[in-house]
Structure 1
């Protein structure tokens, strides 16, 4: 039996995952959680082979919990649940190098296949996430440049961006200038368009 832990804060989604996985031969759901603070203590007690963790698990996020879990139970494989098209969340998930990455919108059969595969030590990237993952890998922008563009995208001025990030207006202008050069943008709106289309924000 593959001892599996499910950590998902959306009640209906968690219940559906637990019910479906429980019905699958060879999979035993040994714990279900809705908060990240409880995950590592519970995993230490029930010793799962696979942990299915939502990247947005409160309070600190599933990625940070997955990092802590790996330190405490390195033998437990992690599958991260990420919303389709959510490049920011996918970036956070990829940073912890889980063995499995799958969308919340995936068919339940795909999750079962993913759980079995990672339990066998094999990696899985959901096809629906592969394109976004490639875009993230190829992202030429620094974290600060992304942050500035995201704020600019809601209409903030240079002075407003500087105030929000506790930077000088000159520093913000320098970041924007480097961003334009890096991605070949003509101006701020063009940079926002290019970065959004390529899922770099």
Structure 2
């Protein structure tokens, strides 16, 4: 059918993919042409299926949705990406838009609104969940440096300073400095708390 928007769904949960596909296929101008369960498969599958818009979950094996959006932008500049996630964290929104995603909506968005979001993104417009947009502006930019983010990601696993240092290839003293700075920026008192706060705000 001419004028049909071809959609790729990327989500590691088959039930979610199936539900989204069923909802979108009810729309006469939308067609789900491919489904994948990992971020690594997005670019190749989008290319082979001729997808116009990729709906990407954030948390997937391999590349996450934000990294997959960046990969699509680099490899297939004409294909639009829309992040659809259960994780409505303001920091994720900012990172997704910086990666080139055209939109960001949460999974409990009503089916009609989701279909409309796909149409808008396909038309070259940007679609952002309004409550997230407000929170993102209020939250401000990610205050953590790249190194602080690296150190906190490892700290989420609960390792010692020495273990963190080994994994990020820095001296223990440098790791302590980064942790101290991150604890200050997150207004917490331990590295575990700092890592959790940063994760909750979508800064990692």
Band of TM-score, shorter chain: 0.7 to 0.9
- Tell me the equivalent position of 1:121: 124
How high is the TM-score relative to the length of structure 1? 0.77
- Tell me the equivalent position of 2:172: 169
**Is structure 2 residue 66 aligned with structure 1 residue 68?**
no
Farther-moved stretch of structure 1 (159-168 vs 45-54): 159-168
- Tell me the equivalent position of 2:62: 59
Matches within 5 A, 1:33-52: 33-52=36-55
Farther-moved stretch of structure 1 (130-139 vs 70-79): 130-139
**Is structure 2 residue 100 aligned with structure 1 residue 97?**
yes
Matched-pair contact (CA < 8 Å) for 2:90–2:135: yes
Deviations 1:163-186 (A, max 9, x none): 4433222112322344466x3958
Gaps of 5+ in 2: none
- Tell me the equivalent position of 2:20: 17
Gaps of 5+ in 1: none
Cα pair distance change 1:15/1:152, threshold 3 Å: closer
SS of the equivalent of 1:101 reads strand
Matched-pair contact (CA < 8 Å) for 1:55–1:93: no
CA RMSD of aligned residues (A): 3.4
Shift of 1:150: 5.3
How high is the TM-score relative to the length of structure 2? 0.76
SS of the equivalent of 1:139 reads coil
Cα pair distance change 1:104/1:169, threshold 3 Å: same
- Tell me the equivalent position of 1:3: 6
Matches within 5 A, 1:136-151: 137-149=140-152
Cα pair distance change 1:144/1:115, threshold 3 Å: same
